[in-house]
Amino acid sequence: MSRAIVLAARPDGAPRESDFAVQEILPQEPDDGEVLVRNVFVSVDPYMRGRMRGVRTYVDPFAVGEPVVGGAVGRVVSSRDERFAEGDWVVSMLGWREEGVAKGDTLRRLDPELASPSTALGVLGMPGFTAWLGLVVIGEVREGETIYVSGAAGAVGSTAAQIAKLKGLRVIGSAGTAEKVDWLSSLGVEAFDYRETKVGDALADGIDVYFDNVGGPQLEAALTALRPFGRVIGCGQIARYNDVEPTPGPRNLGLLVTKRLRLQGFLVFDHSDRYGEFLAEVGPWVADGSLVYRETILDGLESVPTAFAGLFRGDNVGKMLVRL
């Protein structure tokens, strides 16, 4: 027997540990083309909150009573796909469970010599790829521009801020604790604590691009600060995911026309054909240390709900993971 975390109830507002439960699951055997994987790291990501609502957005919602699906890194226990052998490290979408069977086509093998396998869930995985896509494909950032990154100490934000620095931008970033601000400052980011400094004051010099990880009120300040032809990269809205009622949008959206702004949202899974391009550019920066990453790691499957709920309290610096 092994264990999984199931969605026990749809969260009402901020997710609570009681919205989840540990459940024993039956052992599975791989069929032809399938692989049995024992997870080592499971990922908790803000976007998963959206799938806990009972409505379809771009994917179906999670079912109550079922194990939660998401990113995970593990090792192959047994394989009936010739591309994978026992002991291989793989990244999967097996989610919040100790072990599971996946089709070989859904797995990607990791080389633990190249980078820590956990990075496949962070700086070299979905969050890092998201950061790169937002900057390069959606924001089309250029050397010499100024960018503001909200949620800059998170998995996506901290990667976006550093890629922007490496591409020659001036980077302003916000976070919610002194520790996070200190870390960002050490990376060359002009960092501020949004709980202490008004966003508008921090952006008073003007910006060219806003990398929006939080949604909500910060957008209004960013629209005011954006220069003509400015872009908003609509990446995430962690400040809004727990909303029970919709909140009003920015009062200054009329600036869209007068400043010729572009606001564009995106989802990483539409762009999987560019993952190789991302890895070719960002992989070497991670390998040589010019792009650093942090992980906040909790231990044990039963910690997953705490880790997940902690995302919305800002408990993490960098990527939040659970090690099994």
Residue ranges in contact with a copy of itself by CB under 8 A = 50, 57-58, 215, 219-220, 228, 234-237, 240, 246-267, 270
Helix 275-287 to helix 155-166 angle (10° resolution) is 80
Using the minimum distance from each CB to a copy of itself, give the nearer residue, 120 or 225: 225
Instruction: Give whichever of 219 and 298 is closer to a copy of itself, judged by the CB atom.
Output: 219
What is the smallest separation between the CB atom of 79 and a copy of itself, expressed in angstroms?
Answer: 36
Residues in the chain: 324
Pairing of strands 170-175, 20-25: unpaired
Q: How far is the CB of 220 from a copy of itself (least distance, A)?
A: 8
DSSP state for residue 3 in the 8-state scheme: E
Check: CB of residue 189 under 8 Å from CB of residue 161: yes
Q: Please give the single-letter amino acid code of residue 260.
A: R
Which residue's CB is nearer to a copy of itself, number 117 or number 154?
Answer: 154
Q: Using alpha carbons, select from 149, 23, 185 the residue that is nearest to residue 96.
A: 23
End-to-end CA distance of the chain: give it in Å, rounded.
15
Q: In whole angstroms, how close is the CB of 259 to a copy of itself at the nearest point?
A: 7
**3 or 50: whose CB is closer to a copy of itself?**
50
In angstroms, what is the minimal distance from the CB of 162 to a copy of itself? 22
- Taking the least distance from each CB to a copy of itself, the nearer of 72 and 147 is 147
CB of residue 199 vs a copy of itself: minimum separation in angstroms?
A: 16
Instruction: Decide: 148 and 173 in contact? Cβ < 8 Å.
Output: yes
